[in-house]
């Protein structure tokens, strides 16, 4: 069973479109994250939620909006996609903030 | 072979040799450190962790060494195998918010 699952795995879309990436974890963790990884493999945290409450909100464009309907889900919605949004987006979870983080398999977003 | 982290170098080793991946962490108050392995096309996976009250911890074929005096962390992989080829990240955490700070990664290439 996949512990942290995210969909879609691959997404190719045009500039200006709005898209969502969904994430679910079945580990019973309290904390969930969204990370962005660029072409140089640098991992940058975007958001972190603890029990549905936003606890980390790094400097990202407000076109990115996370939503956590419950502590097992953290979805990422992106409005007005730009070329620079092309990256791999990883969802992750941990028992609590600062503990070992378990990552999903990633969503490859390509904006054309 | 050895490498120095926080930029993304490539460490190339022969199968069967020992590998040493280094990481210079940034915060002297960091008290928890984690090594992750990211294979091509996948999300980062936890390898081993160490707390600041220890200076060495061993796992299966892997050893993490922590030198708090010089803020240095290393991952040693014994008898490196082709399946060890991946990008390796160190991460540190400190403070009340327990936010993980990620290194830039080291790419390990194992030659058969």
pLDDT per residue as tens digits for the range A38-88: 888 889 999 999 988 888 788 789 999 999 999 999 999 999 999 999 999
Please name which of A5, A50, A41, A55 lies closest in space to residue B39, comparing C-alpha atoms.
A41
Query: Quick one: pLDDT at residue B1?
Result: 47
Q: Do A98 and B34 touch (CB under 8 A)?
A: no
d(CA B2, CA B24): 13
Instruction: Write the CA distances from B7 to A76, B4, B89, integer angstroms.
Output: 29, 8, 11
Q: Do A101 and B100 touch (CB under 8 A)?
A: yes
Number of helical (H) and strand (E) elements in chain A, helices listed first: 0, 11
Least confident of A106-110, B1-5, B30-34: B1-5
d(CA A92, CA B91): 15
Range B47-66 average pLDDT: 96
Query: Strands across the sheet with B19-24, in order?
Result: B2-3, B19-24, B72-77, B62-67, B56-58
Q: Do A101 and B97 touch (CB under 8 A)?
A: no
Averaged pLDDT score across all residues of chain B: 90
Which of B49, B97, B99 is the closest to A100 by Cβ? B49
Say if B49 is an interface residue toward chain A (CB within 8 Å). yes
CA contacts within 13 A on the Cβ side of A59: 0
Q: Which residues of A touch B45 (CB under 8 A)?
A: 103
Say if B45 is an interface residue toward chain A (CB within 8 Å). yes
CATH number among 3.40.50.12780, 3.40.50.10800, 3.30.70.20, 2.60.40.10, domain A4-111: 2.60.40.10
B16: distance to nearest CA of chain A, Å?
A: 26
Domains of chain A: which residue ranges? 4-111
Query: Quick one: pLDDT at residue B3?
Result: 41
Write down the CATH superfamily of domain B2-92+102-111.
Immunoglobulins (2.60.40.10)
Q: Do B42 and A105 touch (CB under 8 A)?
A: yes
Is residue B2 over pLDDT 60?
A: no
């Amino acid at each position: 069973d996949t512990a942290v699952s995210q969909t879609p795995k691959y997404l190719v879309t045009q500039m200006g479109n709005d898209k969502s990436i969904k994430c679910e974890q079945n580990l019973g963790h309290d904390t969930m994250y969204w990370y962005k990884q660029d072409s140089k493999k640098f991992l940058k945290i975007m958001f972190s939620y603890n029990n549905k409450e936003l606890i980390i909100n790094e400097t990202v464009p407000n076109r990115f909006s996370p939503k956590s309907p419950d502590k097992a889900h953290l979805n990422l919605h992106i409005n007005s996609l730009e070329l620079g949004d092309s990256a791999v987006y990883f969802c992750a979870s941990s028992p609590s903030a600062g503990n070992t983080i378990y990552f999903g398999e990633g969503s490859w977003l390509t904006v054309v | 072979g050895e490498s120095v982290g926080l930029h993304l170098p490539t460490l190339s080793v022969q199968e069967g040799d020992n590998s040493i991946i280094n990481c210079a962490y940034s915060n002297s108050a960091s008290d928890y450190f984690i090594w992750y392995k990211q294979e091509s096309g996948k999300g980062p996976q936890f390898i081993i962790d160490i707390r600041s009250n220890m200076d060495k911890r061993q796992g299966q074929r892997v050893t993490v060494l922590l030198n708090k005096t010089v803020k240095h962390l290393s991952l040693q992989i014994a008898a490196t195998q082709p399946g060890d080829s991946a990008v390796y990240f160190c991460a540190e955490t400190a403070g009340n918010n327990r936010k993980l700070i990620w290194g830039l990664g080291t790419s390990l290439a194992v030659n058969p």
